[in-house]
Structure 1
Amino acid sequence: MTNRIRIVVVDGHTLTRFGLLGLVSGQADIEIVGDTGLGAEAVELVESVKPDVVVLDTVLPDADGLRIARELRDRYAGLGIVLLTSNGADDTLFRALEIGVSAFVSKTAPIAEVLAGIRHAAVASGSFLASGLGQAYARRKSAVPAPVLSPREAEVLVLLGQGLSVPAIAGRMFVSHSTAKTYVARVYEKLGVSNRAQALMAGLRLGVIRKELASTALKSAQ
């Protein structure tokens, strides 16, 4: 008879823990040897029962599950760590990859995927398994970085949002007309726009100017 995969479940939702217990009870090669709903108890529980795999929620009532995962990985290089998450955002996935967890599985994933994550973690704790990893990499590669405005350029964009002309901007910033004109040109260039209305819309997307401010300025520009 082969050894069974011994797992600890760390999840703040009681129903999730009982659901995993029910799921595992039907598997001949997996058994739950401990569970807790608190991150504060996770490391001590792992030390006590020495499981092969920890199934860990990313969001716990008293802790960041990713922080617990990092601590467990630092302590136990060979421990399988499965992050079971309701947050499938790319940044969460890449944080899990960076930490060195074994598998990243959505709570809405099919049962077969959850079990596959556990079994993978038991035999290949140092490799990363995640559904959608390829698509996440593609999104990261195609993402266009947001333009970075200097503090003075951001100030110019806000003043444009207030409806000020170039001469008025020069007066407000205590610079020459030509300097203010240069600042406006730099803002347009960095944002990839050619006029005030486009600059205001870009500033709104970047969060540099408020929606109501942009709306008022756009009306006055029409």
Structure 2
Amino acid sequence: MSEQIKVVVVDGHTLVRFGLTGLVGQEPDLEIVGETAFGGEAVGMVATTQPDVLVLDVALPDLDGLQVARGLRDRYAELGIVLLASDGQDDILFQALDSGVSAFVTNTAPTEEVLAAIRHAAVAATSFTATGLAPAMARRDQPPAQPLLSPREAEVLSLLGQGLSVRAISTALCVSLSTAKTYVARLYEKLGASNRAQAIMTALKLGLLESS
């Protein structure tokens, strides 16, 4: 790698691209060797300028930035790729991770973070970094929350909210009266209620029942 880190910027937003090239150009260890708005041009530009780092927006006018990143990673194992996105939603972050890019930053990230991502990508092209990666991984590994009520209990709650008696509920659900009583008792227990009014009030507060 040359003394200066050679950078190509690919972003369909003219102002963002202008800002990035101006930001990078001010750094003594970084050098802009190409810029374009289009993913199709980026492939040829990488081949001709042989940059150390490609700064690439996810949303391009002609191509999907993630697809461009995957294609370039397959062809250039040592190319540093910094992927930009308008937001840092977990699904986009994990798609960036899976695409083989070196770093993921949002368009609203501080300039220091963008520059750090570029320098990271130049020396560790295959090592992924992103702000918020650890919390996102924790959220992904966390099992989905179990619903408070079973489908049957939710049905009983709805019927209670409609004003049906326990006997009417047993008829509506085609179950015995004792079974209906068991459903209602279990529902009260889960909601910490001792009667219909308390159960309905608690359910409304928890968003389990819509107010009519």
Bigger drift between 146-155 and 51-60 goes to: 146-155
- Say whether the 8 Å CA contact 1:170–1:177 is kept in structure 2: yes
SS at match of 2:119: helix
Q: Deviations over 1:63-108 (max 9, x none)?
A: 5434443443344333211122331234433433343321122323
Gaps of 5+ in 2: 193-198
Alignment of structure 1 residues 12-23 onto 2, 5 Å: 12-23=12-23
Q: Which residue of 1 aligns with 2:93?
A: 93
1:215 corresponds to 2:207: no
Cα offset, 1:17, TM superposition: 0.7
Q: Provide the identity percentage.
A: 63
Determine the C-alpha separation between the residues in 1 that align with 2:157 and 2:45: 54
Bigger drift between 111-120 and 74-83 goes to: 74-83
Amino acid at match of 1:7: V
Q: Deviations over 1:2-53 (max 9, x none)?
A: 4432222222210011111112222333223333323454445445544322
Determine the C-alpha separation between the residues in 2 that align with 1:197 and 1:177: 24
- Say whether the 8 Å CA contact 1:12–1:60 is kept in structure 2: yes
TM-score normalised by L of structure 2? 0.70
Bigger drift between 33-42 and 77-86 goes to: 33-42
Alignment of structure 1 residues 36-75 onto 2, 5 Å: 36-47=36-47, 49-75=49-75
Q: Which residue of 1 aligns with 2:32?
A: 32
Q: Which residue of 2 aligns with 1:4?
A: 4
- Number of aligned residue pairs: 205
1:133 corresponds to 2:133: yes
Cα offset, 1:124, TM superposition: 0.0
Task: Name which one, 1 or 2, has greater alpha-carbon Rg.
Answer: 2
Q: Which residue of 1 aligns with 2:145?
A: 146
Determine the C-alpha separation between the residues in 1 that align with 2:163 and 2:123: 63
SS at match of 2:211: helix
Gaps of 5+ in 1: 217-222
- Say whether the 8 Å CA contact 1:157–1:187 is kept in structure 2: yes
- What do you get for the CA RMSD once the two structures are aligned? 3.7
SS at match of 2:87: coil
Cα offset, 1:162, TM superposition: 5.0
Cα distance change on mapping 1:163 and 1:71 into 2, 3 Å? farther
TM-score normalised by L of structure 1? 0.68
Q: Which residue of 1 aligns with 2:118?
A: 118
